Amino acid sequence: MIFSPTLALDPISQFKVQKWIDLRLGGIDISFTNASGFMLLGVVLIIAFFGIAARRGELVPSRLQSAAEMGFGFIADIVRSSSGEEGLKFFPFVFTLFFFILFANLIGMVPYAFTTTSHIIVTGALAMSVIVTVVVVGLLKNGLGFFKLFAPSGAPWYIYIILTPIEIISFLARPLTLALRLFANMLAGHIMLKLFAGFAVALVGAGTIYLPVALLAFGMGVALNALEFLVAGLQAYVFAILTCVYLNDALHAGDH
């Protein structure tokens, strides 16, 4: 069965990666899984959304067009406020990241959908793309001056013995925190949702005496649902803003 939603009560099976189309390339498993499917769906939805919104660029925008324009303006503001006018070169990158994560998170809120951002391999790949961009841009822009990032000026020499390892560690921790934050938030949120929803169903099944408790669990599930929508947006925002902050560091590494 290609699309088999998990009806099980256990909260983990929703994260199971299933193969939809079995593919192999020279011994490497490149199967088209539900993760690939839902990522593709996200990309298609983003392209469709902005394609339809921008199809007729009207002076007085339609509702859809002004939503798309707000998206552009929002990301442009983030980029400009965190990394200045110079950072606007990376507007397409940040824009893509933000909307990819936002759509992946929101698709995950649809019942039976698969949340691609709840897998650390996905968020890890996104974080690596950010950090590789930061390193490449930093080296191209500042040359070896990029490494001044690890030795901020204005300290006596003996401080650097302690400061440099600390700066190197905090730089290396960046991709890890980027990936972990998004992954952990999505994973934990979806486990909570499933737990409370499953709890409500199980209590209804247990007998009428548990009905008030079931209602309580159900109410909790509804509240968590709202919270998860907030988290979906907030995490995309955090990812975008931290990308801008790191890009800013790369652009201005020389003048620390």
Partner 1 sequence: MSSEQPDDLSDQIAKALADREAREAAKKRKQASDDSTLSAGAYALRFGIEFVASVFVGGFLGYWIDQWAGTHPWGLLVMIGFGFAAAIRSIMRAYRELNARALKISQGISAPDDGTTDA
Which residue lies nearer to partner 1 by CB, 41 or 76? 76
Among 173, 211, 222, 223, binds partner 1 (CB under 8 A): 173
Which residue lies nearer to partner 1 by CB, 30 or 70? 70
Q: Is 28 helix (H, G, I), strand (E, B) or coil?
A: strand
* Number of alpha helices (DSSP H) and beta strands (DSSP E) in the chain: 6, 4
Binding part of the chain for partner 1, among 17-25, 105-113, 139-147, 170-178 by CB under 8 A, reads: 170-178
Q: Which residue intervals of 143-210 are DSSP H helices?
A: 157-206
Which residues, 127 to 166, sit near partner 1 by CB under 8 A? 162, 165-166
Place of tokens 């652009």: 251
Among 172, 188, 211, 222, binds partner 1 (CB under 8 A): 172
Using rule CB under 8 A, residue 213 touches partner 1: no
Q: What CA–CA distance (Å, rounded) separates 247 from 123?
A: 18
Q: Is 11 helix (H, G, I), strand (E, B) or coil?
A: coil
Binding part of the chain for partner 1, among 20-28, 128-136, 177-185, 217-225 by CB under 8 A, reads: 177-185
Using rule CB under 8 A, residue 180 touches partner 1: yes
Which residue lies nearer to partner 1 by CB, 43 or 242? 242
Binding part of the chain for partner 1, among 33-41, 117-125, 181-189, 196-204 by CB under 8 A, reads: 181-189
Contacts of 179 (CB under 8 A, 6+ apart): 120, 123, 124, 126, 127, 128
Q: What CA–CA distance (Å, rounded) separates 197 from 11?
A: 10
Q: What is the DSSP string of 78-131?
A: HHHHHHTGGGGGGHHHHHHHHHHHHHHHHHHTSTT---GGGSHHHHHHHHHHHH
Query: Pattern 228-247, binding to partner 1, x per CB under 8 A?
Result: ------x--xx--xx-----
Which residues would be at the binding site for partner 1 (CB under 8 A)? Answer: 162, 165-170, 172-173, 176-177, 180-181, 184-185, 234, 237-238, 241-242
